[in-house]
Structure 1
Amino acid sequence: MPPSFATCDLCDAHKNDSSADFRVMPPVFRDFGGVRKFCGPVVTVKCFEDNTLVKAAVDSAGFDDTPAGRVGKVLVIDGGGSLRRALLGGNLGAAAAKNGWAGVVIDGCVRDVGELAVLDVGIRALASMPLPTEKRNEGQKDLAVQVQGVWVRPGDWLYADEDGMVIGANRLI
């Protein structure tokens, strides 16, 4: 069952927030996954044209078990906006779906678009690019990242639907 929220309603409720606890992502991301509406607590990775840490993340459990039930997490990847290499493709997208991730948001590219489109996971990225990354074992995880000018921190909550994506410092619904 898809989560019950609308980013427009969240924006209406928080439009006067001056604390920076509520942020709106710019409308530059495209849908690539089979799930269009998703939300969850954020996990971050920062990497540039090397998806070693992306693979490690999607190969791990993408959910938290809570008293209210299982909650899928959202992997936010600061890929530096690179349009030269794909940070996620069919194999890693399938791993994200299999391991319970609610979504993956990439400030960069994906590949294997046809394969991603049928996966049970939300995937947003800037564009598609068939060229894979090089594996240099570089990058960082679990740190505040800036994605298209918006700060995203581990533990924030990301909400994505047909209208866009918003970030809350805490769970909003």
Structure 2
Amino acid sequence: MDFKTADLCDEYSKELLVCQQEFKSYGSRRKFSGPISTVRVFEDNVLVKEALESIPEGNVLVVDGGGSKRCALMGDRLGEIAHSRKLAGVIIYGCVRDTLELGGLETGIIALGSNPLKSKKEGKGDRDIPVTFGGIDWKPGDFVYADEDGVIVASRSLL
């Protein structure tokens, strides 16, 4: 998996969407890519856990948390699930917690920020649907590429 988002933008700019949202990196893998799986939740991480436990190895879970910074949608336990299942990464339009432990996982994890408060556990939300944030419609099955320069999405694998 040797790529740079800048190089992919140079070569495939007409095929790409560039995420306008800046993220902070929390996992030890700073560069990751893979097919997109999606979850849309708000301050409730039950469906996030279910998705982490069931999406295919190598996928990237894109979590539309509505941009809320009032609680965390992922912590060390969910991060360990992503790591043990060999997911390529997790992109959270929301917050994480247990950042020291997440930093020790060989998984790509990016989010808006951190918050020590855990989320609700009501199971509300949607899975495997298009979600929208950062100027991008994130569609299940599309491909995402993330590194230190940013996050881009294509309708097909570019690698």
Aligned residue in 2 for 1:50:
44
1:171 & 1:132 partners in 2: Cα distance? Answer: 35
Cα deviation code 1:23-54 (max 9, x no counterpart): 01125100000111110000000000000100
In 1, the alpha carbon distance for the partners of 2:119 and 2:150 equals: 27
Q: Percent identity?
A: 47
Kept after mapping to 2: 8 A contact 1:103/1:122: yes
Q: How many residues get paired?
A: 159
Structure having the higher Rg:
1
Normalised TM-score (structure 1): 0.89
Equivalence for 1:59? 53
Asked if 1:167 corresponds to 2:157, the answer is: no
Q: Paired residue for 2:80?
A: 94
Q: Which amino acid aligns with 2:48?
A: V
* Structure 1: unaligned runs, 5 residues or longer: 64-71
The structure with the largest helix share of the pair is 2
Quick one: which amino acid aligns to residue 50 of structure 1?
Answer: D
Alpha-carbon offset, residue 146 of structure 1? 0.3
Answer yes or no: is the 8 Å Cα contact 1:62–1:96 preserved in 2.
Answer: no
The alpha-carbon deviation at position 164 of structure 1 amounts to 1.0
Q: 1:69-88 residue pairs with structure 2 within 5 A?
A: 72-88=58-74
Matches within 5 A, 1:1-173: 3-15=1-13, 17=14, 21-63=15-57, 72-173=58-159
Return structure 1 stretches of 4+ with deviation > 2 angstroms.
none
What RMSD, in angstroms, separates the aligned Cα atoms of the two structures?
A: 1.0
The 2-side partners of 1:148 and 1:161 are apart by: 16
For each residue in 1:80-116, what CA deviation from the matched residue of structure 2 results, as whole angstroms up to 9, or x when unmatched?
0000010000000001000111000000000000000
Instruction: Quote the offset at 1:150 in angstroms.
Output: 1.3
* TM-score calculated relative to the size of structure 2: 0.96
